[in-house]
Amino acid sequence: MQEFMATSERRAELYWWFSTLFAAELSDAQIAEYDTYDVRSFLKSLSTLDPMREAVAELNEAIARLLVRPDRQLELAADFAGLFLVDPKQGALPYESLYRGEGKLLMQAPMSEMQARLDRLGINVSDKYKEPADHLAIELDLMGNLIIRAAEATTAAQRESWLGEQESLLHGHLLGWFDKFESACRAADQFGFYGASARLLGVFLKMDANYLSLVKPAQAAD
């Protein structure tokens, strides 16, 4: 159980970190954190996982370029706007509805489904995010919350239920559209910081899906 708790905290931290990356422009103080021991150690720990090694190396290269980039905060903010706040034909808007429409510009179902999920779970994100419910940052943030709820569950049945919610969100939403978003982001991001971040997140999502497929039966057997 202690191992499950520790792993849950680490998974939630990763989801929330990625959510922060895609939620808004980074401040100069946030960028400066990438030059600290804590962040370097954090990324180094991720690189010890074989599936993540190459993606972490790519992100580290992008971070090195970012730290010496003239007017780095303004330039990275411009990258963010160009990728995530413009016409979808030019950037990579981070909304599930744009990638699940089967050729249509916008599909309302993912947005409605995500809002219904938030309402059912009693989770209000309106104070934190001024975006529709199918925004990537909101889906990632919700995964972090579901992970903590599973870790804090007082019974095996509750824990199993929250693990099921995680699987449903991951397979029913994130994994169904993220590959298309990642490809669009990498193609449109000339500087490479957000493209590398998307690549690392894509690897993490697949690893986490595999983890859930293994941990659910183990928890059910406890």
Token readout for 114 is 């995500």
Report the range of poorest mean pLDDT among 12-26, 63-77, 108-122: 108-122
Instruction: Give the predicted TM-score (pTM) of the model.
Output: 0.93
Distance between CA 56 and CA 111 in Å, rounded? Answer: 31
| pLDDT class of 90 with cuts at 50, 70, 90 | confident
Q: Does 177 score more than 80 pLDDT?
A: yes
Looking at per-residue confidence, does 128 or 169 come out higher?
Answer: 169
- What pLDDT shows up at residue 206? 97
Q: Does 103 score more than 50 pLDDT?
A: no
**Mean pLDDT, the chain, as a whole number?**
92
- What pLDDT shows up at residue 124? 85
Distance between CA 69 and CA 206 in Å, rounded? Answer: 32
Q: Does 95 score more than 60 pLDDT?
A: yes
Q: Does 50 score more than 50 pLDDT?
A: yes
- What pLDDT shows up at residue 128? 86
Contacts of residue 69, defined as CB under 8 A and 6 or more positions apart, other chains included, come to: 75, 76, 191
- What pLDDT shows up at residue 107? 61
**Once rounded to an integer, what is the mean pLDDT over residues 100-125?**
79
Domains of the chain: 1-215 (1.10.3480.10)
| pLDDT class of 202 with cuts at 50, 70, 90 | very high
- What pLDDT shows up at residue 102? 54
**Once rounded to an integer, what is the mean pLDDT over residues 192-202?**
98
Distance between CA 9 and CA 23 in Å, rounded? Answer: 21
Distance between CA 40 and CA 197 in Å, rounded? Answer: 15
**% residues pLDDT > 90 (the chain):** 82
**Once rounded to an integer, what is the mean pLDDT over residues 54-79?**
98
Q: Does 105 score more than 60 pLDDT?
A: no
For CA atoms 146, 148, 149, 154, the dihedral sign is positive
| pLDDT class of 149 with cuts at 50, 70, 90 | very high
Q: Does 193 score more than 50 pLDDT?
A: yes
Token readout for 149 is 């709820």
Radius of gyration of the CA atoms of the chain, in A: 18
| pLDDT class of 219 with cuts at 50, 70, 90 | low
DSSP string, the chain: -HHHHHHHHHHHHHHHHHHHHHHSPPPHHHHHGGGSHHHHHHHHHHHTSGGGHHHHHHHHHHHHHHHTSTTHHHHHHHHHHHHHSS-TTTS---BGGGTSSTTSS--HHHHHHHHHHHHHHT---TTT--S-TTBHHHHHHHHHHHHHHHHH-SSHHHHHHHHHHHHHHIIIIIHHHHHHHHHHHHHH-SS-HHHHHHHHHHHHHHHHHHHHHHHHHHHHH-
Angle at 144 between CA 143 and CA 147, to 5 degrees: 85
